[in-house]
Structure 1
Amino acid sequence: MKSLTCFKAYDIRGKLGEELNEDIAWRIGRAYGEFLKPKTIVLGGDVRLTSEALKLALAKGLQDAGVDVLDIGMSGTEEIYFATFHLGVDGGIEVTASHNPMDYNGMKLVREGARPISGDTGLRDVQRLAEANDFPPVDETKRGRYQQINLRDAYVDHLFGYINVKNLTPLK
């Protein structure tokens, strides 16, 4: 069992190829699904060129664990929090490197209610399962579904709920 150094205290971050790749992303998805047993989660990814491939590998691992995946596409972490809560799903994962250098990527995980998953709230359990990589065979009859959805309008409407647009004045 090889230690996965991409698991940090509050999220997952690692150098591409060495610490984080598509195989590891699949294992993280499978481990998240096996540990938390969610029915449905949302996935999103930032603008990094590697985020889409990692997100799709993550989705496959989740589906192999029987989880239905709703992919909201290119998004910020805050949109995963919104989507998880707005849709009332069991969790969410954003593929993002945040402020890290361009040869890194990572993931931020939440559970139901958009509550962050960190070292003391389940991230270590997901890490142990991903490191062991000893999952039961995939049951194709229980494999999760994958669906792309667009929540951008709902998210923008939500943001506008915080301001009174009538009070805005045009730029001079």
Structure 2
Amino acid sequence: MTLRNAPVDVLLRRALADARRRFEARGEDRTLERFARQRVSLAHDLLSKRKHRAAEVKRVDAKTLLGIEEAATKLQCWLELFAPVLERGHWHTLAHLVAAEAALAQLHDVLASEAVLRRVAPGLNAKSAVDEAVRWLNKAARDEARAAVKCLRSLPHLV
């Protein structure tokens, strides 16, 4: 591998110098605060679009919620990275994002458990127990989906 054979600090310095050259070659004079606001705004727009698409359909599937979770994670990462240069109001958004991601992660766990159970069910001889477990997981998935949607709806709008 490249990192094992070369000193990491040299690679990082080269990458930083290359990024600086590319940034300066653009001819734009952008401040870090403006750049941070643009990145956060793009991530927020992506999350808003995915939330809007999910709100339009009658029943939200796991793939849609996973897309929302990815967009929320991206927004959270940008907010945490640029927290020192952004306004203080974003900490409130960050708290809501963490709560929404936790709810989405719980939903994902329930859906993954159901998928595993359905995959191994044919090999089990306890059909009634499997059916009961699937019913319970379906109810848990509905409850977790409602909680996740509630958390997503509580996200404040960014400027």
What band does the TM-score fall into relative to the shorter chain? under 0.3
Instruction: Please state which structure has a larger fraction of its residues in helix.
Output: 2
Q: Flag the structure with larger Rg.
A: 2
More strand by share: 1
**Could you state the TM-score of these two structures normalised by the residue count of structure 1?**
0.22
